Structure 1
Amino acid sequence: MRMEPDSTAVRTAMWRALHVLIDKPPHVLDDTLSLQIAGVDDDDWQTRPDMDPERTGPNRSSIVARARVTEDTVTSSGVQQYVVLGAGLDTFAQRDKRTVRVFEVDAPATQAWKRERLDDLGLLVPERLRLVPVDFEAGESWLDKVVAAGLDPAIPTVVSMLGVTMYLTREAISATLRAAASLAAGSVMVFSYSRPIEMAPPEIRPILEGAAKGAAASGHPWLSLLTPDEAASLARDAGFGDVHTETSADLHNRYFADRHDGLSPIGGEDLVIATVGGG
């Protein structure tokens, strides 16, 4: 069992921290804690090619925007349960000051590593955070596992799945959405998706093509690139009553329109926000 963080999760943590460290305020998301959890103590990490301030601007903008929308959804919905699928180095449980119970779902090796890191740093927050190991490759049900860990399926819950769908088949995406749609009325599913590369702005396509090649080379090829209509249809077919999309342009208008540094998530991931209806 590999006892080290996933490289994609570490890169995401770095981009979230980089936003705070080099981009001008106001910051869309204030999170450098995930960098601490990752154990990145090399002072030269910002000189890595994948941390280039200009070239990676769209990446880190998209990363912080999708997280901000999701966390705003948790806050505005008033739910007391939040499930993070593919949690990686997420730090909502440490940064949020309310009483929301957080269930972080990820691969067993990742969760074992993260539990050790949080213990070492004194950040486990046991009264509010449950680290839930799920072996998806073995066919384990994330919903069964989080219920066993203490989630009450009879009360509204927010479920997020960010930066994951491109690595899943459409069948796997649908199965995940159906499980979330079986939760109590008022529950909300937030998931991100990437469009086909040819739909991206021309200046963004080389970045996406490079990312796709890198993902394939690392053994994690992109399996599902979706149009907004396709992504929304997957949510409706899974049983959600109210479904709407937040495109990368929408995220720009929400969080970046008044900036003067050119930072923008346009061309990055879009979001679907789907709500479970009543009866």
Structure 2
Amino acid sequence: MSEEPDSTAVRTALWRGLHTLVDDPPHVLDDAIGVEIAGVDETWRARPDMDPARTRANRASIVARARAVEDTVIASGAGQYVILGAGLDTFAQRHKGPVRVFEIDASATQAWKRARLVQLGLLDSTRLHLVPVDFEAGESWLDKAVEAGLDPAVPTVVSMLGVTMYLTPEAISTTLRQSASLAAGSIMVFSYSRPIEMAPPEVRPILEGAAKGAAASGHPWLSLLTPDQAAGLARQAGFADVEVVTSTELHERYFAHRHDGLSPVGGEDLVIATAGGDHISPE
């Protein structure tokens, strides 16, 4: 296969798998399939970015946001789920219900993932739709998803995790407005990172290192948002109901009774926004 997935997508999948391997049960998210899809060799756990101690905070934040979104999808009863920047997400492989899943990502990652799923016998094309979108060329993810079979008149859950920091506020607003144009009752869940100075002191060095690494790799952080700013973007996009779920609240929801100290506090917060009944132009 000539195409390869984004390195961030692979790292996220491996962190999710690492949670099931090194953290105490009960696991917040039980996702070993992503490691299988990633196709890494048996030395992957020796990678510096897989060190169990150094990656605890990142790992906790990754599984917390994923669990919260998946709980939202299941609780909503929505028949459609759109994952923006899907990477090596495995919801479609782990949840066998009737919900149709539309994974949106760059063409290189989508081509590679499709080949891996076929190779592993994991591609259920009746439920999972891999939708390549050339964001740099200005293609609309909503238009491409509709072409792939998404019904915009049916309530839908849309998620965008680990993406907003790489987008300008204008690009975030465009994406949110497209989501808000879907049927009434549709839900948008997106994560955001706060300005580093707002993080707990013990987490700041981790975030500073991550920011430097992102810039060095050519993917600088462009938007670090306060809770008010993140919620404000959702309201301006036209969502009728907007809720902020902080990393502290995610801790209370999924980690409060753990005894191993694993916690997402200081990591990404979530915004959960619900579309109302008024028609909103996606442009």
Same fold (TM over 0.5): yes
TM-score by length of 1: 0.98
Structure 2 counterpart of 1:235: 234
Residues 9-53 of structure 1: CA deviation (Å, up to 9, x unaligned): 1110111001000101110000010111010122x2222221111
* In structure 1, C-alpha distance between the alignment counterparts of 2:229 and 2:170, rounded to whole Å: 13
Aligned residues: 278
Once the two structures are superposed, residues 50-103 of structure 1 have per-residue CA deviations (whole angstroms, 9 ceiling, x without a partner) of 111122111000000000000000000000000000000000001101010000
**Residue 86 (structure 1) aligns with:** 85
Structure 1 unaligned regions, length at least 5: none
Counterpart check, 1:266 vs 2:265:
yes
Q: CA offsets, 1:158-177, max 9 Å, x none?
A: 00000000000000000000
Tell me which stretches of 4 or more aligned residues in structure 1 moved more than 6 Å: none
The aligned residue for residue 163 of structure 1 is: 162
Partner AA of 1:133 in structure 2:
P
Structure 2 length-normalised TM: 0.97
Partner of 1:41: 41
Tell me which amino acid in the other structure corresponds to 1:15: W
Hey, what's the Cα distance between the residues in 2 that align with 1:275 and 1:171?
20
Aligned partners of 1:24, 1:260: CA distance in 2, in Å?
8
Identical aligned pairs, as a percentage? 78
For structure 2, which runs of at least 5 residues remain unmatched after alignment? 279-283
CA-atom RMSD in angstroms: 1.0
Give the structure 1 partner of residue 67 of structure 2. Answer: 68
Alignment correspondent of 1:172: 171
Q: Which AA in structure 2 matches 1:90?
A: D
How far apart are the structure 2 equivalents of 1:100 and 1:235?
Answer: 25
In structure 1, what is the Cα distance between the partners aligned to 2:132 and 2:66?
21
Q: Which residue of 2 aligns with 1:6?
A: 6
User: CA-to-partner distance for each residue in 1:75-133, whole Å, 9 max, x for gaps?
Assistant: 00000000000000000001101010000000011111111111101111111000000
- Secondary structure of the 1:243 match is strand
Distance apart, 1:2 and its partner CA: 6.5
- Show the counterpart of 1:15: 15
Question: Mapping of 1:104-253 within 5 angstroms?
Answer: 104-253=103-252
Amino acid at match of 1:185: A
Deviation digits for residues 204-233 of structure 1, max 9, x if unmatched?
Answer: 000000000000000000000000000000
* One-letter identity of the residue aligned with 2:29: L
Q: Secondary structure at the match of 1:241?
A: strand
Letter in 2 for 1:33: I
